Amino acid sequence: MEEFMHRALQLGGEALQAQEVPVGCVFVVDNKIIAESRNRVNETRNPTRHAEINCIDLVIEYCKSKNLRHDYFQNITVYVTVEPCIMCAAALNNVGVKEVIYGCANDRFGGKTVCDVSKIYSNNYSLSGNLLADEAMALLKLFYKGTNPLAPDPKCKKILKE
Amino acid sequence: MALDSAEPEPKRMKTSNKIEEKLDEYLKNMKSATWNLTPIVEEDLYKPIPVVQASVGIIRDPKDISKTILTLNDKVPMKELQHLKRAQKKEIVICPLSYLNGAKIEEYLENNVKELKEVFEEFKVCDVPSRPPQVRKQFEESNKVWPCNFHPNKYNEKLVSGSFYNEQELKTHRQYMEMVFEVTKFYMKGLTATNIDSDKILRNLNTCVVVDPSIQSVVAVCFDNRLKHPVQHSAMLAIDNVAKTQNGGSWVADREKHETIDSTLRGIDEELCCHLKEKFPQVKFGAKKFKSKRDMSEEELQGNDIGPYLCTGYYIYLLNEPCVMCSMGLVHARAKRVFFCFNNSEFGALKSKVKLQTITALNHHFEAFTGFL
């Protein structure tokens, strides 16, 4: 289990290098990684391109190429460094993965912590957290020390400068 | 075959109709609507303010009132009941009953504010409003329970007034919603279903039109692709198409589709685009020219506002209430307002199951409106 989370953390590190919110994710079937990705929000200028969504895209491509139906998602265990946000929690429900294991909790957008998405869907994946949480949190802290390079300057910041 | 039955079978009730006709019916009703749109806000704005019990003392000598209030504000500040006026004639709120922990009020004073032990001639328990009133109606009702402070908020009053938009604005919003229906019709062309089934079909897809109200122009138009790709609901596609107008984006449309090459309106099918322009000759299409810190030099940026940034300031028009995934996607995209026509009782996240726009913990909040039909 830890080896998959280590790989996800590595991908999160790549995100940090690319000045993205450092979240990484791997999709695992039968102890094999079948898709892996990281946050690509700034790169694509699309705020929904979280690591999980990117992995879902890869699996859909994979299914298409192998002529598999989308119920293939039922075999997937997701390892993600940070608790999936409300959007990703719902997306993982839409595709119907088997299990989600995350590193640290997500106090800002968490699909369990901020708004419990599992209460809305009837067939839920099993969700557990706290696997290598400190490492995941350390990555986030590194990022939030810096600032988002693409965001417009907030007005209050300008006033402070003067 | 005709010889087998002497009489033709009576027409079955379950006749199939074109889904387009069903949509036309809705369109007709929407065009003749005379009512305002409904802002979807937290229930608290409409409901009477609940009460909580508080311990109240009756002052012996009215001369002591101001001194007592000052002392109490200092020693028993009542953080959660700051909206209350401390005194009502000779009656003074000492504290919420919960502060006493079952003790008598006399004991509480003895332990916490000894100097006020003698100023009250008797004590009682009163109901007081538990939260600050947010709108005038609540203020007036709350005042009958106990006098409150009230800071009128024009926006809140507008939300509950039932007349949020003026005639001209309503016309504009209905026009963009008509476009949502027109796009849906375009993709439902030729499909037939029974009345019940066509409603089912229409509830299990979504159509999205994105507008930049600052230039009154359509910047994205998307129809659902969830059957082929479970994440490609129309709002998610729209967010990506908006990204494409900002030199980003990640989904490549089906090859058989002929996308426009217009960089200010990406991802829209050429044929649909022509159809909409013909159907809505008064509507403008295309996003503002995109300027970014990443793509421009310091000099080029001088005096130029950067943007647009994601869906900041944009209005999103949807056929159905967006699901949890799409709603949160729109939060991430920083949309300004979301309009929808039909409730999504199963997965709707702006009204039916939760109201994401009212979750204060989130970093962005758009406004949501419905009530087109």
For residue range B295-313, list pLDDT tens digits in order.
Answer: 666 666 666 667 889 999 9
What is the reported pLDDT for A1?
A: 85
Nearest to A46 among B250, B292, B307 (CB): B250
Give chain A's residues under pLDDT 50.
157-162
What DSSP state is assigned to residue B269? B
**Chain A residues within 8 A of B306 when measuring between CB atoms:** 152
What is the reported pLDDT for A124?
A: 86
Contact A91 B231 (CB under 8 A): yes
ipTM entry: 0.91
Could you tell me the two tokens for B178? Answer: 């008509």
Of B237, B210, B200, B203, the C-alpha closest to B325 is B237
| Partner B, chain A 57-76, Cβ-Cβ below 8 Å | 57, 60, 70
Give the mean pLDDT of B223-235. 95
Contact A89 B324 (CB under 8 A): yes
What is the reported pLDDT for B255?
A: 53
What is the reported pLDDT for A16?
A: 95
Give the mean pLDDT of B103-116. 93
What is the reported pLDDT for A123?
A: 78
Question: What are the contacts of B28-34 at 24+ separation with CB within 8 A?
Answer: B29/B373, B30/B174, B30/B177, B30/B178, B30/B181, B30/B341, B30/B372, B30/B373, B31/B174, B31/B178, B33/B174, B33/B372, B33/B373
Mutate to test the interface with A, among B233, B246, B324 (most CBs of A within 10 A): B324
Residues contacting B209, CB < 8 A, separation 6+: B176, B179, B180, B183, B218, B220, B221, B238, B316, B317
DSSP codes of every residue in chain A = -HHHHHHHHHHHHHHHHTTS---EEEEEETTEEEEEEE--HHHHT-TT--HHHHHHHHHHHHHHHHT--GGGGGG-EEEEEE--BHHHHHHHHHHT-SEEEEEE--TTTBTTTTS-GGGT-SS--EEE--SSHHHHHHHHHHHHHS--SSSPPPHHHHHHH-
User: How many whole angstroms separate alpha carbon A148 and alpha carbon B335?
Assistant: 19
* Residue B177: C-alpha distances to residues A72, B181, B201, B225, B309 (Å): 37, 7, 19, 20, 24
- CA B69 vs. chain centroid, Å, equals 41
pLDDT 10s digits, B149-175 = 999 999 999 999 999 999 999 999 999
DSSP codes of every residue in B83-146 = TB-SEETTEEEEEEGGGGTT--HHHHHHHH-GGGTTTEEEEEEEEEESS---SHHHHHHHHHHS
What is the reported pLDDT for B301?
A: 63
pLDDT value at B245 more than 80:
yes
Q: A55 at the B interface (CB within 8 A)?
A: no
Q: A149 at the B interface (CB within 8 A)?
A: yes
* Closest residue on chain B to A151 (Cα): B309
**Chain A residues within 8 A of B246 when measuring between CB atoms:** 45
B359 to chain A, minimum CA–CA distance in Å? 8
User: How many whole angstroms separate alpha carbon B294 and alpha carbon B169?
Assistant: 36
What is the reported pLDDT for B2?
A: 43
Pairing assessment for the beta strands B217-223 and B284-285 based on DSSP bridges: parallel
Contact B243 A87 (CB under 8 A): no
Length of chain B: 373
What is the reported pLDDT for B126?
A: 96
B163 to chain A, minimum CA–CA distance in Å? 31
Q: A150 at the B interface (CB within 8 A)?
A: yes
Nearest to B294 among A57, A95, A150 (CB): A150
pLDDT value at B69 more than 90:
yes
**A52 annotated active-site:** yes
Of A143-147, B228-232, B268-272, which range is least confident? A143-147
**Chain B residues within 8 A of A46 when measuring between CB atoms:** 239-240, 243, 248-250
**Chain B residues within 8 A of A115 when measuring between CB atoms:** 354, 356, 359
**Chain B residues within 8 A of A86 when measuring between CB atoms:** 324, 328, 331, 356
* Closest residue on chain A to B348 (Cα): A120
Mutate to test the interface with B, among A20, A42, A45 (most CBs of B within 10 A): A45
pLDDT value at B7 more than 50:
yes
pLDDT 10s digits, B111-151 = 999 999 899 999 999 999 999 999 999 999 999 999 999 99
Q: How many CB atoms lie within 10 A of CB B91?
A: 18
Q: Please give the interface size between A and B, counted as residue pairs whose CB atoms are below 8 Å apart.
A: 102
**Chain B residues within 8 A of A120 when measuring between CB atoms:** 324, 347, 349, 353-354
Contact B307 A70 (CB under 8 A): no
pLDDT 10s digits, A66-99 = 999 999 999 999 999 999 999 999 999 999 999 9
B266 to chain A, minimum CA–CA distance in Å? 14
Kindly name the residue from A52, A83, A135, A162 that is annotated as catalytic.
Answer: A52
Mutate to test the interface with A, among B228, B288, B325 (most CBs of A within 10 A): B325
**Chain A residues within 8 A of B250 when measuring between CB atoms:** 40, 44, 46, 49, 57
What is the reported pLDDT for A158?
A: 44
**Chain A residues within 8 A of B230 when measuring between CB atoms:** 56, 60, 70, 91, 94-95
What is the reported pLDDT for A157?
A: 46
What is the reported pLDDT for A152?
A: 67
A131 to chain B, minimum CA–CA distance in Å? 25
Contact B294 A149 (CB under 8 A): yes
Mean per-residue pLDDT of chain B: 90
* Closest residue on chain B to A96 (Cα): B230
CB B315 within 8 A of CB B242: no
Q: A1 at the B interface (CB within 8 A)?
A: no
